[in-house]
Amino acid sequence: MKIETGPIAPVFLAHGAPTLATADIPAHHFLKGFAGGRPGPTGIVVLSPHWETPDLRVSAPGSLKTIHDFRGFPDALYEISYPATATAELVQAVTQCLTDSGHTTRQDASWGLDHGAWVPLSLAFPDAGIPVVALSLPHGSTPESVFALGRSLTPLADDGVLIVGSGSTTHNLKAIEPEGTAPPDWATAFDAWIDEGLQAGDIGYFLDLDQAPHFRTAHPTEEHLLPLFFAFGAAGDGARPELLHRSYAHGSLSMSYFSFSAPSRGAVPRAS
């Protein structure tokens, strides 16, 4: 990601299965080249669907443990560590932005980075030298509420902090197939519906998810889709998407990667 003085485009990063960390698939290679060897952002704020809580929580300052929140995968995945740190300065900046927007937060030292956070970050920024703060996904979240949560952090994106929503635009684990299987029509149709709504630039398009084509096939539960709207909101008024990469893992898992920029806020660096 080419970083210059000024705003950085928020991004949505698909994390798929934990094997994304080591698998020889297109999405893995895309993330490995995401930063392009250029200077990184001043900090990263990440929202993963694997940290669901009753209220809104923010990483407490300090080292963030690598959480291997999965079972039955190759031993090599459990040996991966991503030793990122939540600095007091970044925690305070995130908390202040959220408080100023009317959100009530509390710091949480018990969590860390689950695989929805550390898998894509470890590929895109492998040295773990950039401060990271994780946000939780409150129970009962909706596209509108998560969009508003992202919008609260637009000032941080303007100051060089990378806002990341991590999830998947399709996520039905009962529908996965062997790697290399062609994506089913329902997955590509749902992605097309997502693309149309993002291009429209209006969160209102997404308020009734059940009217989307094949929604409950693509998402038996919606938590993996919601971080998309977090990144969308963080880009500010008039935001539009850029599809950086799309492929499919295990047949139906959409590995879609977006950046969001608002022309009214000036030039925004792009991922390469």
Q: What proportion of the chain, given as a percentage, has pLDDT over 70? A: 93
Residue 58 has pLDDT above 90, yes or no: yes
For domain 11-265, give its CATH number from 3.40.830.10, 3.40.1710.10, 3.40.50.9100, 3.40.640.10: 3.40.830.10
Query: How confident is the model at residue 269, as a pLDDT?
Result: 41
* Extended strands (E) in the chain: 11-14, 43-53, 56-59, 62-63, 85-86, 105-108, 132-138, 161-167, 240-249, 253-261
Tens-digit pLDDT profile for residues 163-191: 999 999 999 999 999 999 999 999 999 99
Give 28's pLDDT tier (boundaries 50, 70, 90): very high
Tens-digit pLDDT profile for residues 195-228: 999 999 999 999 999 999 999 999 999 999 999 9
Q: Taking a C-beta distance cutoff of 8 angstroms, is the pair 18, 77 a contact?
A: yes
Q: Is 14 left (phi over 0), alpha (psi -120 to 50) or beta?
A: beta
What are the structure tokens assigned to 194, written together?
Answer: 């997502």
Q: Where are the domains of the chain?
A: 11-265
Its pTM stands at 0.93
Which of residues 189 and 6 earns the better pLDDT score? 189
